[in-house]
Structures are given as C-alpha cells and as structure tokens.
Structure 1
Amino acid sequence: MKKLIVPALLAMLVLAGCTSGGAVASSPSSSSASSVKPTPTPTVMTNDEAGAKYLSIVCPGNKASIALDAAFTSGDIAQITAAAASARDIYQTSALALADTKILWPEGIAADLKKLSDAQFARVSFADQVSKATTFDEANSIIYVNDDSGAVAQKVRAQLGLPASTTCE
C-alpha cells in the first residue's frame, strides 16, 4: 500500500501552494459628499502578476507534499501525523485562495483554478484523515484519489507564461 501513497503525493507536487491576498476596499465616509473619493476600479492582473500570485498560492502546498512524502518514507507515525496536519492546513489555505473571487485573474483561467481549488479541498480531506491515524499501517491505508489536477495545473502555468518545471524554492 505504501507504494500508492508516494506516487499520489508526488502527483500533488505538480500544482507547485500559498496564501491569498486581495484588496478590500473601505467604505467612504458619508459625512461629506465633497470628501468622498471614488473607489478605484479593480484591474485584472497581468500574466506576470498572476504567475507570481499563482506560485505564491501553490508553492506552500508543494512543499507540504514533499514534507508529507518524507514523513511517510520515515515510517514514523508522529512525523506522518504532524506533517499531515500541517499539510491539511496549507492545502485549505491554497484551496481558498484559488477560489477567491476577489482576485482578478487574467481571462480564461477561472474554470481551471476552480478545478485546482477542488483538488486542494480533496487533499485537505486526505491529509486530515492521515493526521488522525494512530499507526503507520492505518495512515498508509488511507487512499488518495488521484485526479487530473496535474494536467490542469500545467495548463494554467502555460496560460500564465510559467515554465512547466517551476521550482518553489
């Protein structure tokens, strides 16, 4: 069963995971019409901006996947559950950021980002189950259902002008 976990975790690395950002406009004061400043119109990110944002969202998840894979390789249940708990939280942050409608991505990638967000939420569930395991065999028996998120991530990377093999150093 262990041989199923390692390829599944490596497949997660294709996403390349982080936190979201996004501007929140404050409400203007209603005390004086002359002091009201118009709210700036949000603009869609350029491909360069979106590429940097995308990597800031997905790179932490990739790093968490590497750490979880290393923990599984160690066979130490304490390391496995700690890495899984950390990964779970990072995957959730990434999933929420990819689904954040306040981030104005370039046209044509919203549907793919939704698929990647959904895949990250599936990883949240997987990592949560692993984090609760009490033995190596129990953790190793939790099956991660692989999906097509690797292909989708590569499509997003291509659309944003990112190389296929971007590292998250």
Structure 2
Amino acid sequence: MKRSTIAVTAAAALMFLALSGCSATTAGEAPVKGTPAVPKIDPGPIELTAEKAGERYLSIVCPNNVANEAIVAAYAVGEADYFSGGSPDPAAVKAAAATLAELNRAAVEHFDDEYFIWPAEVADQIPHIRTTYMGQLTMNQAVANAETYESAYTTPLLDLTPEAETAGQEIRYQLDIPSDTKASCVGHENGLTELTDERTEREAALAKQD
C-alpha cells in the first residue's frame, strides 16, 4: 500500500474516533480515570428539618414512654398486697426497670449524636430532655437493683426543674408534633432500635469512605 493511502486511512480512523466520542490510546497506555466517586454517605453533620427532627424525636422518646407504662403496670400488680402489709415479688418491677434504664441510656446516646443538628427552635430544649433521661437512668437502675418490692416502690422519684417539665411539650409545639404522647407514638415503639441500627450502618459506611 502506498504511503498516501496509509495516511488517508489513518486520518479517517481518527475522524471516526472523534465523532464517536472515543479517544485513541497507544499500546500499553492506561485509560484516563474518571472523576472521583461521590460519597454515598454524607459525612455530616446533618441539619435536621422540622419534619425530620419530629420523626427523630419520637423515635427517641416513644420507646421510653412505652417502657414507662410497662413499669407502672408491673408496680400495680403488687401494689394492693404491699399496702395491705404484704411483701410482693419485685421481679417484674426490677425487670421492667432494667429495660427502661437501657432505653434511658440509648436515648441519651442519640441526643448526644453530633451527626445531627437539631433545628434552632428546639436546640435549647433538647438538653433538658437529655438531662431528664440521665436522671431517670439513675433512678431506674436503683429500682432494678432493689432487693425488695418496698425498696423499689419507695425509690425517690426524679425531681424535675420547671424547664425540664415543659421542654417536652415545647418541642412538640415547635416541631408540630401532637401533644398526645400516647397517640403520637404509634409506629415509633421500636424507634431506638431502628436509630441504633441506622447509626451502626452509617458509621460502617463512613469508615469505608475514609
């Protein structure tokens, strides 16, 4: 083949590559790398919208509300016997208190999670709820360790500050959550377990992105 023919053929091949969007590479040349992959998990911190904050708040507090109902019910079983001079078995109360203490601790951990930023409207109220759960943790752990029904029943209740007493309803008002603490918790009974699972998956994914 003549040199002119080779030149024309090469030129045609280059034109085809240009039109098709491809680039020619020489033998042994590595292809050009693409742009860096966008992280699948936002490294945070994440600013919560009012809606997301409301859902997160319910997921934290509702399991504690449900468990609180359980310990009240456990106390009620032996209450009549106790007031008539008996010594009821404290096992059910102790078990309910131990469960509630674990939920109190989990609530504190999620309120302390710096990955999320609460809306400014409730940022000053969240610490009061967090402090309340820490106090309840101490109280419920004491009940869980009680040797008798009487010592469990007479464990001093948590003394709340005025700010702590109103913080829950203030948060509900600001985040447009119904004030009914029972009805609003439907569907959030396992919220802390779900949040803990999500955090575990998030932290594992973020570790892989580092």
TM range (shorter): 0.7 to 0.9
Quick one: which of 143, 146, 158 aligns to 1:145? Answer: 158
1:54-74: CA deviations, max 9, x gaps? 100100000111011111111
Larger relative contact order (Cα-Cα within 8 Å, sequence gap ≥ 6): 1
Letter in 1 for 2:170: K
Pick from 83, 98, 101 the counterpart of residue 85 of structure 1. 98
Percent same amino acid among aligned pairs? 28
Q: TM-score, normalised by structure 2?
A: 0.60
The correspondence for 2:75, drawn from 59, 68, 72, is 72
Secondary structure of the residue aligned to 1:35 is coil
Q: Structure 1 residues 87 and 43, CA, compared in 2 at 3 Å: closer, same or farther?
A: closer
Aligned-residue offset at 1:42: 4.7
Letter in 2 for 1:156: I
Unaligned runs of 5+ in 1: 1-31
154-163 or 103-112, larger mean C-alpha shift: 103-112
What CA distance in whole angstroms lies between the structure 2 residues aligned with 1:129 and 1:103? Answer: 31
Residue pair 2:64, 2:100 contacting (<8 A) in 1 also: yes
Separation in structure 1 between the aligned mates of residue 117 and residue 151 of structure 2, nearest angstrom: 42
Deviations 1:1-36 (A, max 9, x none): xxxxxxxxxxxxxxxxxxxxxxxxxxxxxxx9x536
Partner of residue 123 from structure 1, selected from 132, 136, 140: 136
Moved over 3 A (4+): 36-43
Query: How far does residue 133 in structure 1 lie from its aligned partner after superposition?
Result: 0.7
How far off is 1:78 after superposition? 0.6
- 1:97 maps to which residue? 110
What is the TM-score normalised by the length of structure 1? 0.74
Q: Once the 2 structures are TM-superposed, how far is the Cα of residue 37 of structure 1 from its aligned partner?
A: 4.0
C-alpha distance in structure 2 between counterparts of 1:150 and 1:160, whole Å: 17
CA distance in 1, matches of 2:45, 2:144: 40
What is the deviation of 1:146? 3.0
Q: How does 1:1-169 map to 2 (within 5 A)?
A: 35=36, 37=38, 40=42, 42-75=45-78, 76-147=89-160, 148=162, 149-166=164-181, 167=183, 168-169=185-186
Between the aligned partners of 2:94 and 2:69, the Cα distance in structure 1 is: 14
Structure 2 counterpart of 1:64, which letter?
A
User: Over alpha carbons, which structure has the higher Rg?
Assistant: 2
Deviation digits for residues 83-139 of structure 1, max 9, x if unmatched?
000000001101221222211221232221111001100000000000011111110
CA contact (8 A) 2:53 2:175 kept: yes
